[in-house]
Amino acid sequence: NAGVMQNPRHLVRRRGQEARLRCSPMKGHSHVYWYRQLPEEGLKFMVYLQKENIIDESGMPKERFSAEFPKEGPSILRIQQVVRGDSAAYFCASSPPGTTPPYEQYFGPGTRLTVT
Amino acid sequence: GNSVTQMEGPVTLSEEAFLTINCTYTATGYPSLFWYVQYPGEGLQLLLKATKADDKGSNKGFEATYRKETTSFHLEKGSVQVSDSAVYFCALHDSGGYQKVTFGTGTKLQVIP
């Protein structure tokens, strides 16, 4: 059973370009979460999605950032017009459907974005 | 809102030393508590968890007890190894049915031979 997959593992973009980060959840998982980890800092929640729905995007910057989790295919975190401050590690996590806590999350290896 | 406070690192220990990493939390309701570990260049792995007061989570020689009275979930290990060098994150899952996770800032542990 493959774990959470993220690609690319490393991404370099120039200022003003777009970055697309992909996340394939574990098989059978229908909940996806995106987190950002700035250098020497902890993880900050960005967005929580279920298939075709954004449940909570309270951690997403208001501009340039968007996320989706289509019915088919991976979840995408999209950053438009990247700036140097977007350089960070972006982690995706997934969890299975269910109503009984704890809702354990399984993390991918992350995408390290560098903006030059 | 929810918050998690961890002791600042880095923590440097000699092999076989005793480890404690403090973690306290603020939350409404009854959250589940977790410790995650992040090895260099990798994602987070769940180390252990506890879902209610007085529960003890344990794995790979690490332990943590959910203390509601002190709102703490301190991580301990009796004898650390060089391979334990990593960043450790304390986290809580909200109990309100919503699956948002709040992380501490992480504590870097370095174990020297």
Percentage above 90 pLDDT, chain A? 67
pLDDT at B7: 87
Q: Which of B102, B86, B105 is nearest to B94 (CA)?
A: B102
- Confidence class for position A104, pLDDT limits 50, 70, 90: confident
Average pLDDT across each block of 10 residues of chain B; the chain has 113 residues. List them in order.
88 97 90 91 89 94 96 97 96 72 91 96
Chain A contacts of B7, Cβ < 8 Å? none
| Alpha-carbon gap, residue A20 to B63, rounded angstroms | 39
pLDDT at B54: 95
Chain B contacts of A55, Cβ < 8 Å? 98
Percentage above 70 pLDDT, chain A? 95
| Alpha-carbon gap, residue B86 to B111, rounded angstroms | 9
pLDDT at A24: 97
- Confidence class for position A97, pLDDT limits 50, 70, 90: confident
CA distance to partner chain A, nearest, from residue B103 (Å): 6
Q: Which whole-number Å values give the CA distances from A64 to A86, B27, B108, B109, in the listed order? A: 10, 31, 32, 35
CA atoms within 13 A on the CB side of A93: 24
- Buried b vs exposed e over B75-88: b needs ≥16 C-beta within 10 Å? bebeebeeebbbbb
Q: Which of A62, A76, A65 is nearest to A32 (CA)?
A: A76
Contact B110, B10 (CB under 8 A): yes
Span A24-62, pLDDT tens digits: 999 988 899 999 998 777 788 899 999 899 988 989 999
A108 backbone dihedrals φ, ψ, rounded to 5°: -85, 175
pLDDT at A100 over 70: no
pLDDT at A103: 66
Q: Which of A101 and B35 is assigned the larger pLDDT?
A: B35
| Alpha-carbon gap, residue B97 to A51, rounded angstroms | 18
pLDDT at A85: 94
pLDDT at A101: 55
CB contact under 8 A, B32 and A102: yes
Mean pLDDT throughout A96-114? 80
| Alpha-carbon gap, residue A56 to A72, rounded angstroms | 20
Q: Which of A43 and A111 is assigned the larger pLDDT?
A: A111
How many C-beta neighbours within 10 Å does residue B61 have? 13
* 3-state secondary structure at position B89: strand
For chain A, the average pLDDT equals: 91
Q: Which of A11, A9, A22 is nearest to A69 (CA)?
A: A22
| Alpha-carbon gap, residue A1 to A7, rounded angstroms | 18
Residue with tokens 């690609």, as numbered in its chain = A7
Contact B89, B38 (CB under 8 A): yes
CA distance to partner chain A, nearest, from residue B45 (Å): 7
- Confidence class for position A102, pLDDT limits 50, 70, 90: low
Give the residue numbers in A contacting B (CB under 8 Å), as ranges: 4, 6, 31, 33, 35, 41-45, 48, 55-56, 91, 93, 95, 99, 101-110
Q: Which of B66, B67, B26, B32 is nearest to B46 (CA)?
A: B32
Mean pLDDT throughout A5-32? 95
Chain A contacts of B43, Cβ < 8 Å? 4, 6, 91, 107-110
